Amino acid sequence: AQSVTQLDSHVSVSEGTPVLLRCNYSSSYSPSLFWYVQHPNKGLQLLLKYTSAATLVKGINGFEAEFKKSETSFHLTKPSAHMSDAAEYFCVVRDNQGGKLIFGQGTELSVKP
């Protein structure tokens, strides 16, 4: 069975400092991986996706993620945090059999001024 584990439930950074949100995946197949963001009282917005092309994936709002097969990781990074980045972030793997999305527990990102 496929799964994702987000290693931190809460991350706090200062504005202008780097962001690292960690995610490990488990999959028997070459996975399709995503990061989604959820701002308060809003829906789930796609940040970026990995579907077995380049291992370094660039997304919206300056976010990137690197697929590392040897470490089964798909960590999300951003060089410099903005206040507007404060939100809940979800690492997600797509089920290869049925297409449904399997979500991690979420990481709440706080950005201090």
**Is 7 an interacting residue with respect to another protein (CB under 8 A)?**
no
Closest to 92 in 3D by CA, of 102, 78, 77: 102
**Is 100 an interacting residue with respect to another protein (CB under 8 A)?**
yes
**Is 30 an interacting residue with respect to another protein (CB under 8 A)?**
no
Residues 112, 16 contacting (CB under 8 angstroms): no
Return the sign of the alpha-carbon dihedral for residues 7, 10, 13, 15. positive
Report which residue type is found at 82. Answer: H
> What is d(CA 80, CA 52) in angstroms, rounded to the nearest whole number?
27
Within 31-60, the residues that bind another protein by CB under 8 A are 32, 34, 36, 41-46, 49, 51
Among 7, 22, 64, 103, binds another protein (CB under 8 A): 103
Among 7, 59, 101, 108, binds another protein (CB under 8 A): 101
> What is d(CA 93, CA 110) in angstroms, rounded to the nearest whole number?
24
Total residues contacting another protein by CB under 8 A comes to 22
Contacts to another protein by CB under 8 A = 32, 34, 36, 41-46, 49, 51, 90, 94, 98-106
